[in-house]
Structure 1
Amino acid sequence: MKPYLLSLGAGLLVGIVYSLLNVKSPAPPVIALIGLLGILLGEQIVPVVKRVIGGQPAAQAVSAACTEPVLGRLPGDPDTQRKA
């Protein structure tokens, strides 16, 4: 959870500096971010379909194939806690 909060804090700090300097953020517009999300989700379709064809229930296939690539390692993940 700490890296997420640090990232948010850094973003807020940069946003404040941009605002004080009256500069527009170079961040991509929302439409570009939605396109990137579509690419990320599209990459997960093949592994999910392979697991479903292999007999795994759809919900379990989505959870197994998509959780880490789409969301990253989540704060409660035991593997993340061991590495920290």
Structure 2
Amino acid sequence: YVLSLLAGILAGTIYGVIGVHSPAPPTIALLGLLGMLAGEQILPLARRMMEGNKLNAAWREAKCSQHMFGRLPGGKLPDAATQDQRSP
């Protein structure tokens, strides 16, 4: 999160130095990014629904929540994932 914020500050500083306004207001840019993430999930979700899965099951199998929202702050990793991160 910090690196993302710093990259945004750097880009904003560069825009300010060269006298260019950012291409989109932040809210519009964030909605566009959310739309891109949602759009990436349409095909995997549709494929699973065409295989006969209901929407909820297709959503889980396609791991849409994990892709769109990532591991939320304060979320706990499963034990296997925690062990994988400790291993060199």
The TM-score bracket by the shorter chain reads: 0.5 to 0.7
Structure 1 runs not aligned, ≥5 long: 1-6, 12-25
> What is the RMSD of the two structures over their aligned residues, measured on CA atoms?
2.7
Structure 2 runs not aligned, ≥5 long: 6-21
Change (3 A) 1:57 1:77: farther
1 or 2 for the larger relative contact order (CA 8 Å, sep ≥6)? Answer: 1
Q: CA deviation at 1:76?
A: 2.7
Q: Deviations over 1:20-57 (max 9, x none)?
A: xxxxxx8x611111011001101101000000111122
Superposition pairs of residues 38-77 of structure 1, within 5 angstroms: 38-65=35-62, 66-74=64-72, 75-77=75-77
Q: How many residues align?
A: 63
**TM-score when normalising by structure 1:** 0.57
Identity in percent: 39
**TM-score when normalising by structure 2:** 0.55
